[in-house]
Structure 1
Amino acid sequence: MGFSAIFGVILALSSVGVAHYLDGGYLRELVNLPAATIVLGGTLAAAFIQFRSADVRRAAVLLRWAFSHGRQPHKETLESILRWCVIARRKGLLGLEAEAEKLSDEFIKSGLQLLADGKGRDNLRSTLEVDMVMQEQRDLQAARVIESMGGYAPTMGIIGAVLGLIHVMGNLSDPESLGRGIATAFVATVYGIGLANLLLLPIGNKIKDLVQARYRHQEMVLEGLMLIADGHGPKAIQQRLQGYLGG
């Protein structure tokens, strides 16, 4: 699980809240619905204007992925590849069809099915490489959505600050409204800068790292399946794939 990401968000929010409290403020002063509406709504609207709706939806999926995904299971996958090698040598490539049906990973499942269908290594490589590249490009584009939102959020905070000051200037005779307007102005700025630098930009970079790590994992799978197709034994495959275990 992505414990580090969750811990980072909690630490960031706690640091802001504790610093505000130590400076003599109250936590309720940081809760402002109009400011949140301006920053969150404006940032999301800007993303929809710049990107396709499919990219924005994919970005939402990857946000959840960033908080739930752990390391790539290189060691476990290598053990599976070695097991598939033994099955292929004992039962033939057709024996891998039953193994493919047990898997939930569509990429690996597709590769094993291609082997079971008797496709050559060239067909296997070309098919899986297209899947790898297209998935990588789609997810990197979604990561750019999140990074772009990190660029828009501070600007939305400034817009919220200006709107708050406009409200203040229009109600100088009402001290109570004056206080609320100033609060909205400054809290909106905090929301915009905090959302960008404590969440969106770090998460965007984390997703890019996860995408690259998954690509390396898929490269390992592809290499292993091609070695099986070429008839290599378990020991030779383990030696060839050992370098991936550090990824």
Structure 2
Amino acid sequence: MLDKICGLARSAGNTIMKFYNSEKFINISYKSDKTPITNVDHEANSIIKKGLSLITPNIPILSEEELYNFKICQHWNHYWLVDPLDGTKEFLKKNGEFTVNISLIKNGIPVLGVIYAPFFDILYCSLNKHAWKEKKPGYKERIYVSKSKVPLLITSRSHPDKELKDYLRARKNYRIKKMGSSLKFCLIAEGIAHIYPRFGNTHIWDTAAGHSIVVAAGGKVKTWTDENLNYSLSSRRSFVNTGFCASTS
């Protein structure tokens, strides 16, 4: 099934790139939180939903681009979690830092994760305790987190916050890199970056696929109270995450 999901992410990514590389009309609107959404998000979402419905017709799908009755979703123990275009701001800026995110949640845990970066044509995926980087379809290379005496901290390009400034001020020995979308998780999983601290709001579709890949590569994703970031809808009041830190240890 993992290969089918990887293929599905690539298919959605190819559609995204057709808009990115052409003069096709991009219709931009804004959600209640003032984040942008485009017709490209909806096109990618349609491809993924249709594909998942064929692969696993009995597993419900929760996507960023749909509206849901949260009380109904709370009864889902197993579900797909989708962000069809993570990093819409970066897509519109044309800096390439956007991804397609698909993950499978079982009993609050992301057990499968796929992140495809169509601009770079690189895919990251995980299943249980194994994580891979795929530069060509079907050619997977195992990836692992790594440690460093001078860790590379990777932070959001578009979402600065005061807590992050305070966190950095308290640290002494580090390098820093800013990046958009869930690629931040991927750089930790393949051993390039080492810490991704996040204080501002994210949603479960922003983090689940990256969470799965980081943990499968040997890292961890914990809240600031040292608890596992949980995707069990029955124990939540909304789709919003608390702050967290993804790291190599």
TM-score, normalised to structure 2's length?
0.24
* Structure showing the higher strand proportion among its residues: 2
* Structure showing the higher helix proportion among its residues: 1
Considering Cα pairs closer than 8 Å and 6+ residues apart, tell me whether 1 or 2 has the greater RCO.
1
TM-score, normalised to structure 1's length?
0.24
* Structure with bigger gyration radius: 1
